[in-house]
Structure 1
């Protein structure tokens, strides 16, 4: 089927139902009636000449034809929405445009010199910053809610481009103030096997962080091979630190957390044997605009000192 033959709203309804697999939730999420959802699916099935969903009184699931259509439409629909969004922003902000940068870190101090360098070179471009929770790190990029993202590495996503590495920082172990490890001078990954750590709540596979990315911060096994159990879950740092304070679990966190989230009921313990986290600029391959390339160029040549005062920022 030619995508140009479909209404964007019909595509949105089909893709939402493909994710929810529930007519009621789909209608609620899109603020339409269930009858409207059924009408759209019926129209698509008549146009295709085959069933897209198998429906019973209890379950809804995609047919093989439905799976193929979903896979074909997802990227095209996302790119169409991105194109419309860029046209709209160009109308509102002029040719200089607006650049939306997401940060999975709260440490704006590390990025500010690079942003200042970019704004100095492109004074007419407006930069909007968005905080991105680690529970869904790449969703905003893929939904065209942001143009680029500062995230920790590694990132091995075929639809995303990993640009220049911006800075490094150490890990520390976050524990409750009355935890047995709270009085230690240092900790290691081996300590994690003796206590429960945090995982991200299981949700839609399209939004849940990939295991390799999550393991770069909180591994699933110690260096000696002992499993590290996930005994609590949090989708953002605010929930996480409250649960740590309540004694639910402990977790490695990036070093900047100790500066920005100091509390009397938690403690941050150095982890000197753990390799530092590396942060980089990332963007969607199909959303590589001139502004994104300009930002990457400035960030790649910008100067941000590491702990020894040496510049970091060589492109990957």
Structure 2
């Protein structure tokens, strides 16, 4: 059985329409009919019943389809592995993440990636926001999923994978905790807990602003090395801090109340990688990652997808 016969038969067995099959295979409807007729002469019996209204499989055609599908999957897998080897999609791919929710998306993408590229091992590790790009620059990881914005000449940021509105964490005994929502203007009267270390200023200015929208200064408090410290500092009454609304189920802490913020200040996550580190492994994983992010059941639309802090 020739490859074109196999492809034409299985495509027609699925589509049950010569026009759609021809479009799918990039052939003319006449050529598809010719290939099927050649295969039927080889088998010795009709594989399809054709009328002016429909195309259906004969019992022999059904049996042949059922017998060929497992072989087709084996062939497709073997070809994918051969292509992967030819493109250099082997070895180890190291990926970073800066929150547990980013890790959840990565784990789903990795599961799919390993099926397609079994000769490429994938590892993941957490990236601290206090040094968000250090592991990339030291080649500890090849790419990572992290918070935007990224304005670094040596790094590339891909399209946004998901985003969420912003919330303010306050001590549960704080007067603001009795409100339904708060404004960024309220921060002029609070101490804002932030991230320290090597976090770049442009990133801090967006995620932990120094001024309210009207220009009032926002008092800056303790700069934590790890974001995981911040909810406990809020509970202890050391200040307030910003996070993504959808992060609350993952980072809920006793004594902390999460309040929606009225102004738009979306939290956005995207993959980033070194400008000169776009290898075939990275490209293949990015493709898988974006397909995973768009897959039903993995979250919201990328413009409003669940995201961590």
Same structural fold, with TM-score higher than 0.5 when normalized by the shorter chain: yes
Change (3 A) 1:255 1:119: farther
What secondary structure, in the 3-state scheme, does the structure 2 residue paired with 1:126 have?
strand
| 1:117 aligned onto 2:112 | yes
In the alignment, is the contact (CA less than 8 A) between 2:156 and 2:273 conserved in 1?
Answer: yes
Shift in alpha-carbon separation, 1:245–1:312, aligned structure 2, 3 A: closer
Counterpart of 1:275 in structure 2 is 265
The 2-side partners of 1:283 and 1:179 are apart by 41
Return the alpha-carbon distance in structure 2 between the equivalents of residues 312 and 98 of structure 1: 31
User: Matched residues in 1 for 2:254 and 2:154: separation?
Assistant: 42
Q: 2:235 touches 2:254 (CA, 8 Å); kept in 1?
A: no
Q: Do the aligned partners of residues 214 and 304 (structure 1) sit closer, same or farther apart at CA in structure 2, a change above 3 Å counting? A: farther
Query: What root-mean-square deviation, in Å, do the aligned CA atoms of Structure 1 and Structure 2 show?
Result: 2.5
Query: 2: CA distance between counterparts of 1:178 and 1:273?
Result: 24
Q: Which residue of 1 aligns with 2:31?
A: none
Deviation, 1:304, is 4.7
Offset at 1:273? Answer: 2.5
- Give the TM-score normalised by the residue count of structure 2: 0.63
Gaps of 5+ in 2: 1-87, 305-309
The answer to whether 1:257 aligns with 2:251 is no
Alpha-carbon shift at residue 111 of structure 1 (Å): 3.9
Contact 2:129 2:226 in 1 (8 A): yes
**After superposition, what is the alpha-carbon deviation per residue over 1:193-239, rounded to whole angstroms, capped at 9, x for unaligned?**
110102333x5xxxx11111122211111111111121222111222
Matches within 5 A, 1:80-91: none
8 Å contact kept, 2:89–2:117:
no
Structure 1 residues 288 and 142, CA gap change in structure 2 (3 angstroms): same
5+ residue gaps, structure 1, are 1-93
Tell which deviates more after alignment, 245-254 or 256-265. 256-265
Matched, 1:235 2:225: yes
How far 1:98 moved relative to its partner? 1.5
Aligned equivalent of 1:135? 130
- The aligned runs of 1:14-53 (5 Å cut-off) are none
Query: What SS class does the counterpart of residue 128 from structure 1 fall into?
Result: strand
Q: Which of 139, 146, 149 in structure 2 is aligned with 1:154?
A: 149
Q: Which protein shows a greater Rg?
A: 2
